[in-house]
Structure 1
């Protein structure tokens, strides 16, 4: 007689913090009034609404704050204070929402490439999601800034899709990973690559610590805000704003340091506290001083 094993419940560390989610507040934050049944239609609509409402940004880090990815902290920052965040924050919150709605959703961790050759091994550090719906696995990412897809992409090699005017391709990389690419001015641009290995909240917590604390992290060294729009995409890095339109070279605008809070409000919908604005302006002034010194030295 074959022994029967009792099914053990999964430990809470493998699950999303769904019970404490204020779903109504989240839906109001992204101005979503569409269907909620766990379908591909719902998933697509939620992703687009989230991207329209919640910008990608690291302002908490550069103004002296701390990034936490427990659900209460995420709801306080991204929902109640109407701020944005980076991948570990946004995709953790989005996964929790999807889980509450009945989707089967799991985390993955990617190796960022951002134009690097796909044969190069870069460190793990980017959180994304895989959602099972309509009989297929779909990659979903609301936290990869202005370059990311605006809709789910089915996990299928050599698949090319158009999200409005923006084109994407999913293929297998030389290292055997899933490789996400984005077409820029007729050329395929490598965004990141990832495996089928699950990524749990504890993993994202470690990667979040490195991204927000390590002195070599770009989120520690630079002011970053991005928006993934349907027709226009924005990328602010320090005092430079790039505006991306389909099929065109990016437009570059240089920002005066004292205009930075207004740019964040008007272009990204981000309102900081007076204390954060002062800290941000102090940080921006150091960028101006560094630029001036570099110009004097001829660098």
Structure 2
């Protein structure tokens, strides 16, 4: 982005003109020449989810999480790292905008089965194909939750979708909003709820500050890393790794803090560089 472009940027849109599309497609293993079609949207979503992991490690490493496009590209595309929802969804929105899709940001409340109202701390996307009727349903794209879905979900009230054995469904919540459910070993869990009110980059930036800096944010208390694949969902919560498979089977392993850099590389495709492995281990040992 040039100085003039920065001056002209009023905060609308997702800066698709500034995304490094060839580098992004190389990172997720897709070829160029993708038209803005449903097939492309599904392929991009699946490739993104299975290629770029979810993680909050910058907080443990003592650095703020920057959700500006340049910082996100440097971290999620140019390095073997991942990020959380505001990084993932902002990057994915820029890519989709560059390819010609219609993209609207949304904000979700992560419930995970809870009934008490929770804050809007999850960035997601409402995506539509270009030049389609206004009343035609679009898709929910959620590449930044860490636990799927593998592909976008059509806004179809109550429809259950099976993706490589993983179950999801969208349902209207009765208040002009929607609920996303995910099937886990215990049954259907209401994962998050969201209104169809448009959110912008500045909203992602403001809420991102709460997520990485507020002492009540759960992300400030421990490493939380995920890798979602067709055959397995890996989760690192603190020093515990849980692997869940589509058939409902679950494996759990506990690790010493000193082992986590190697676990991140082997199980989550995340390589910490420089003195970051020692900083992460030190942070964990100081709190163990």
1:160 aligns with 2:156: no
CA distance in 1 between partners of 2:214 and 2:207 (Å):
10
Do 2:223 and 2:237's aligned partners in 1 also have CA atoms closer than 8 Å? yes
Aligned equivalent of 1:224? 224
Tell me the SS of whatever aligns to 2:211.
Answer: helix
Do 1:34 and 1:42's aligned partners in 2 also have CA atoms closer than 8 Å? no
Shift in CA distance, 272/186, structure 1 to aligned 2, threshold 3 Å: closer
Bigger radius of gyration among the two: 1
Do 2:67 and 2:90's aligned partners in 1 also have CA atoms closer than 8 Å? yes
Q: What is the CA-CA distance between 1:273 and the residue it aligns to?
A: 1.5
Q: What is the CA-CA distance between 1:136 and the residue it aligns to?
A: 2.8
CA distance in 1 between partners of 2:183 and 2:27 (Å):
31
CA distance in 1 between partners of 2:32 and 2:195 (Å):
32
Structure 1: state its 5+ residue gaps. 1-9, 289-299
CA deviation string 1:81-117 (max 9, x = no partner): 2310000000000000000000011100011101213
Say which of 35, 60, 73 aligns to 1:62.
Answer: 60
Aligned equivalent of 1:292? none
Aligned equivalent of 2:4? none
Tell me the SS of whatever aligns to 1:98.
Answer: helix
Tell me the SS of whatever aligns to 2:90.
Answer: helix
1:205 aligns with 2:214: no
Q: What is the CA-CA distance between 1:19 and the residue it aligns to?
A: 1.9
Do 2:16 and 2:93's aligned partners in 1 also have CA atoms closer than 8 Å? no
Aligned equivalent of 1:52? 50
TM-score by length of 2: 0.92
Do 2:137 and 2:156's aligned partners in 1 also have CA atoms closer than 8 Å? no
CA distance in 2 between partners of 1:94 and 1:151 (Å):
13
Do 1:184 and 1:247's aligned partners in 2 also have CA atoms closer than 8 Å? no
Aligned equivalent of 1:150? 150
Structure 2: state its 5+ residue gaps. 1-7
CA distance in 2 between partners of 1:66 and 1:17 (Å):
22
CA deviation string 1:225-277 (max 9, x = no partner): 10111111100011100000113242110011111000001111111113111
Do 2:16 and 2:96's aligned partners in 1 also have CA atoms closer than 8 Å? no
CA deviation string 1:129-150 (max 9, x = no partner): 000127431100100012x311
CA distance in 1 between partners of 2:172 and 2:117 (Å):
14
Aligned equivalent of 1:128? 124
Aligned equivalent of 2:274? 274
Say which of 98, 101, 105 aligns to 1:100.
Answer: 98
Aligned equivalent of 1:74? 72
Aligned equivalent of 2:251? 251
5 Å-filtered alignment, 1:257-296, equals: 257-288=257-288
TM-score by length of 1: 0.88
Q: What is the CA-CA distance between 1:33 and the residue it aligns to?
A: 2.1
Aligned equivalent of 1:25? 23
